[in-house]
Structure 1
Amino acid sequence: MSVKVAKFGGSSVADAKQIKKISTIILDDPTRKFVIVSAPGKRHENDFKMTDILILLAETYNNQDVFENYLDIIIKRFSEIITDLNLPSTLIHEIKDTIISTISSDLPYVRKLDAIKALGEDCNAKVISTYLESIGVNATYMNPKDAGIVVSNEPGNAQILQESFQSLYELREHHCDVLVIPGFFGYSKEGHIVTFSRGGSDITGAIVAAGVQANLYENFTDVDSVFTVNPNIVNNPKEIKTLTYKEMRELSYAGFSVFHDEALIPAFRRSIPVAIKNTNNPSLPGTLVVSEKQKQENCVVGIASDTGFCTLYVGKYLMNRELGFGRKLFHILENESVSFEHTPSGIDDMSVIIREHQLTPEKEAKIMKKIKEELKADTVSIHHNLAIIMIVGEGIMNTIGIAKKATTALTDAGVNINMINQGSSDVSMMFGINAEDIDSAIQSLYHEFFEN
């Protein structure tokens, strides 16, 4: 039996007009049996995401501030959707009662916050399944608990447990033509609602696709495909027709916002192809993400970039002879709850690339002091405003001239290279530059790899 899982992002379910669009998409293909939905997203550039307002609701209620304004905004948004879809007004009252009972519960705040955050997806799934039923579709809302999505007990950072996949497979035999499942959250073994990290509806979609052993996981968003570079930096960049999982993971990590960067893991482990498609233009093929693909003459498929990094530089003479130096350095970072991204190194020095948001001035000073005192380092410094560029493509490691082309392009743009990291990945090459040079660097690299 051919089965597809279709996930619709926030912009695809932002209002009644969009929900009608996704309903047409669902009806167009009877193999789209499983539908995963996000909370209502932005309807326009200056709009808000439902999840953001739900978080503000939780915070103000917890701080005993005036929260009613946020509650009114949420109810008004759902009321507009329900009214425009000609659904019963009782659905509005049910949603309001659910929100009030959740925020007024006696759960610890960390539990309550997860339960409130999950309401955007959960209420929207109920609305969408009700609408599908109203137009004659044999559709049913299914709570993640009933679907068997069991996750680790880590609020805001849930991980799927393996026992979930057998329960999900049994959903293939469900009598309904369409099952609508809210994304973003599951249930712990203790019965608590636990959310994935932000953007986690992508994760739910991949989990369900893996569990039901789908032939295809379709991720509907608001772009026609994945582009070779950020279209905000380069006008009308080329589209990417096919990517491997490894390429997509590298691109997602380094600033490509189409996918949550953890979302592909469940699908990847079961070799399920993923199609990225546009809700507003569903006839286009989009971008297909696969396990393997044929070799291409130009192995570079995309150039990703992101800002908000800093570099911790540590220098010590004869560092290479000192057993355990790296372990001790990372132990200092671990004790301050700081993770690292990359670690280029030499024989007497070591650089650690860190996301800047992890460092407060106090934490930064504490880390530098510990490194000087405990590791007896000769030099310790932190350099801010670093941008990372990732040149991505299967076969980069074995293709002659990629580094030369990249460095030439950056030189032509007048961009200084602070750091190069190649060899740790067979699908990417990383450059560190000053953040203010990011646009000119990407434009020059795009010209070199995709226009020449």
Structure 2
Amino acid sequence: MKVIKFGGSSLASSQQLQKVLSIVEADQQRKYVIVSAPGKRFDGDTKVTDLLIQYARQTIHHQDTQAVVASIIDRYAEIGHGFNVPETQLTPIFETIRNLPKQTYADNTYLMATFKAHGERLNAQLVAAVFQRSGLNARYLDPKEAGMVVTDVPDDAQIIKSSYDQLAKWADSEQILVIPGFFAYNRNGQICTFSRGGSDITGAIVARGVHAERYENFTDVDAIYAVNPNLVAKPAAINEMTFTEMRELSYAGFSVFHDEALIPAIEGNITVNVKNTNHPEAPGTLIKSTREPNPHYPVTGIASSSSFCSLYLRKYLLNKEVGLGRKILTILENHHISYEHMPSGIDDLTIIFDEHQLTPELEKTLVAEISAAINPDEIYFTHDYSILMLVGENMRNRVGIMSRAATALANDDIKLIMVNQGASEISIMFGVHDNDANQAVIALYKEFFN
């Protein structure tokens, strides 16, 4: 039995949904269908989720919403009319869109979460109607009915473990269950959304809950590639990779999965298969607990991300000052800030952050509080910072990977500002300046894949 998830590009139009229908019909094991909101149909188009965000903002600011409501309704109408779904089934969807501002919300964060979630919620209802219209024994299953309960965080909810026991009751369903991704309900019955990649998270949660044999994640690419295809023409496809490799690469910018999205599948030891809706016959990429290493390619993938910044501080005899680290970490904890890495020397220390946590005002506050606590000789933030990840299970068994990588970067005149090997020995992290990041990725790809 399989859980399958379709991304926004796979559900953007009636033509794309026809491909989805064919994929579901082709395999009787595909019993649980997780759907995203309709995505872009062409370059310059707007995702339904983005339209709903605009709708929410206009509602919050008491602006005219007539145009954006019409645009959202048109997206669902095109899909429904393409399959001759009766107006009696389409009208409730349209009315739900119009009535979103009339609901009562605890505050604007819950309003925003509810508006956004309806991209998936209404699309799942529509897809279920299309499946029924096409002769499939299908029905819509709302996350509340499925028993999915999440923590009370409107835009970054976490699944509560008891939800898996409730989902298990839906195992071995005779019907095809169409489930919206991206959201569930807190204990008060309010809608809360998952973080980035929310529909992927839903797919993994459902797969674990119903004890699926496989979780198929359909996107718009034939496979996961060893490097960003926008940087390297025709990059190597990854046939198999481990969960650990995928998480390491996602952390550094791989866009296929958000780094939290696979955790339920990892916990349930469920193999994930990334496939292409437009070429479903392609084998795609398998992600699983273990794999046989390829002796010719010690590196599985290379990724980079520019969403980092660093706090540098220097103080003579820093390494001998007892409690210095605790003082700094206490200040970060008091501001609810996590750090990514903390490489250090005898007299200096660098703390690397995901810069999305920070604001200019918060940076000034941190500098002031850390200065007062430890009296450094020098302290400042740097934002021209990218992290590159070189990842591969087979790296731990090979000598000279670091040397080859550093030489390749040096030959392209790329300055390293930080190097850190992961404790698992399957990843090496390089810090470089933002304007060197893309060239650094290309240099590493040439070294390890050409």
Which band: TM-score by shorter chain? over 0.9
Q: Distance in 2 between matches of 1:146 and 1:390?
A: 41
Cα displacement (A) at 1:250: 0.7
Q: Percent of pairs identical after alignment?
A: 47
Following superposition of structure 1 onto structure 2, how do residues 233-312 of structure 1 map, counting pairs within 5 Å? 233-297=231-295, 298-312=297-311
Q: Distance in 1 between matches of 2:422 and 2:75?
A: 50
Q: What's the counterpart of residue 64 of structure 1?
A: 62
Farther-moved stretch of structure 1 (391-400 vs 55-64) = 391-400
Gaps in structure 1 of 5+ consecutive residues: none
SS of equivalent residue, structure 1 residue 384: strand
Q: Distance in 1 between matches of 2:214 and 2:174?
A: 21
Q: Distance in 1 between matches of 2:240 and 2:372?
A: 51
Cα displacement (A) at 1:226: 0.5
Q: What's the counterpart of residue 363 of structure 1?
A: 362
Q: Distance in 1 between matches of 2:13 and 2:356?
A: 33
Following superposition of structure 1 onto structure 2, how do residues 383-394 of structure 1 map, counting pairs within 5 Å? 383-394=382-393
1:168 matched to 2:154: no
Check 1:65–1:335 CA distance in 2 against 1; reply closer, same or farther (3 A cut).
farther
Q: Distance in 2 between matches of 1:140 and 1:423?
A: 46
Q: Distance in 2 between matches of 1:245 and 1:273?
A: 9
Q: Is the 8 A contact 1:185 1:196 kept in 2?
A: yes
Cα displacement (A) at 1:173: 4.0
Farther-moved stretch of structure 1 (104-113 vs 385-394) = 104-113
Q: What's the counterpart of residue 195 of structure 2?
A: 197
The residue identity in structure 2 corresponding to 1:385 is D
Q: Is the 8 A contact 2:89 2:129 kept in 1?
A: no
Deviations 1:244-294 (A, max 9, x none): 000000111111111122111001011110000000000000000010111
Q: Is the 8 A contact 2:294 2:394 kept in 1?
A: no
Q: Distance in 2 between matches of 1:210 and 1:308?
A: 31
Q: What's the counterpart of residue 325 of structure 2?
A: 326
1:130 matched to 2:129: yes
The residue identity in structure 1 corresponding to 2:52 is L
Cα displacement (A) at 1:204: 0.3
Q: What's the counterpart of residue 402 of structure 2?
A: 403
Cα displacement (A) at 1:11: 0.5
Q: Is the 8 A contact 2:422 2:429 kept in 1?
A: no
Following superposition of structure 1 onto structure 2, how do residues 12-51 of structure 1 map, counting pairs within 5 Å? 12-51=10-49
Q: Is the 8 A contact 2:13 2:79 kept in 1?
A: yes
Cα displacement (A) at 1:417: 0.5
Q: Distance in 2 between matches of 1:295 and 1:237?
A: 19
Q: Distance in 1 between matches of 2:153 and 2:308?
A: 26
1:97 to 91, 95, 98: 95
Gaps in structure 2 of 5+ consecutive residues: none
Q: Distance in 1 between matches of 2:199 and 2:221?
A: 17
SS of equivalent residue, structure 2 residue 170: helix
Deviations 1:302-324 (A, max 9, x none): 00111132111112222222232
Cα displacement (A) at 1:101: 2.7
SS of equivalent residue, structure 2 residue 171: helix
Q: Distance in 2 between matches of 1:53 and 1:328?
A: 45
Q: What's the counterpart of residue 230 of structure 2?
A: 232
Farther-moved stretch of structure 1 (164-173 vs 218-227) = 164-173
Q: Is the 8 A contact 2:171 2:211 kept in 1?
A: no
What is the TM-score of this pair, normalised by structure 2?
0.97
RMSD of aligned residue pairs (Cα, Å): 1.3
Deviations 1:138-169 (A, max 9, x none): 00110011111111111111111111111111
Q: What's the counterpart of residue 220 of structure 1?
A: 218
Q: Distance in 1 between matches of 2:174 and 2:242?
A: 34
The residue identity in structure 1 corresponding to 2:10 is S
SS of equivalent residue, structure 1 residue 350: strand
Q: Distance in 2 between matches of 1:69 and 1:278?
A: 34
SS of equivalent residue, structure 2 residue 342: coil
What is the TM-score of this pair, normalised by structure 1?
0.96
Deviations 1:364-386 (A, max 9, x none): 22211211112111210111221
Q: Is the 8 A contact 2:245 2:392 kept in 1?
A: yes
Cα displacement (A) at 1:434: 0.8
Q: What's the counterpart of residue 74 of structure 2?
A: 76
SS of equivalent residue, structure 2 residue 417: strand
Q: What's the counterpart of residue 154 of structure 1?
A: 153
Q: What's the counterpart of residue 208 of structure 1?
A: 206
SS of equivalent residue, structure 1 residue 73: helix
Q: Distance in 2 between matches of 1:172 and 1:120?
A: 26
Check 1:331–1:272 CA distance in 2 against 1; reply closer, same or farther (3 A cut).
same
Q: Is the 8 A contact 1:395 1:426 kept in 2?
A: no
Q: What's the counterpart of residue 415 of structure 1?
A: 414
SS of equivalent residue, structure 1 residue 213: coil
